[in-house]
Homo-oligomer: A and B are copies of this chain.
Amino acid sequence: MLERISHLGYAVTDIEAAAAFYRTSFGVEPGESEPVEEQGILATMFRVGESSIELVQPTRPDSPVGKFIARRGQGFHHVAFEVRDLEASLAELKARGVDLIDSEPRIGAGGMRMAFVHPHEVFGVLTELVESRGTGTH
């Protein structure tokens, strides 16, 4: 079911400082950070192999990522795995009794179809599934 690691989400308090650090120290190329209003975040990504690292800064303390940082501090927030057919994957997981945050696909950043699995099912790791856009498009 899991084709590749699509991305890791890192929660940070200062996205410009984090992007500058990764650019300078590790030679990666984060893009301009962009607001995602409905999630209350600024986000940017950089590529590592077939995966990406997404840096996410909350723009409101009451946003999910804002609350996460207040509770746990900066750090790893979630992993996203690519699957070929998100609806089929969610149906399989539901049939096996796996508790899902999103029982149906929803549209995430960049227009991707995605859904979250409950972290208590996956041993404390907030886990997202994102649908592949087909060969050659990523």
| Interface of A toward B, CB cutoff 8 Å | 1-5, 8, 10-12, 18, 21, 24-28, 48-51, 72-76, 79, 81-82, 92-93, 96, 98, 119, 121-125
Contacts and interface: CB of A to CB of B under 8 A. Distances in A.
Which 6 pairs, one residue from A and one from B, show the smallest C-beta to C-beta distance? Answer: A4-B49, A75-B124, A74-B124, A76-B76, A2-B48, A74-B123
A25 B18 CA distance: 35
A132 to B, nearest CB: 11
Contacts of A28: 1-2
Given A10-B125, A24-B96, 19 more contacts: A1-B27, A2-B27, A4-B49, A4-B51, A5-B5, A5-B49, A5-B51, A12-B123, A18-B123, A21-B121, A21-B123, A25-B98, A49-B51, A49-B82, A50-B50, A50-B51, A72-B72, A74-B123, A75-B125
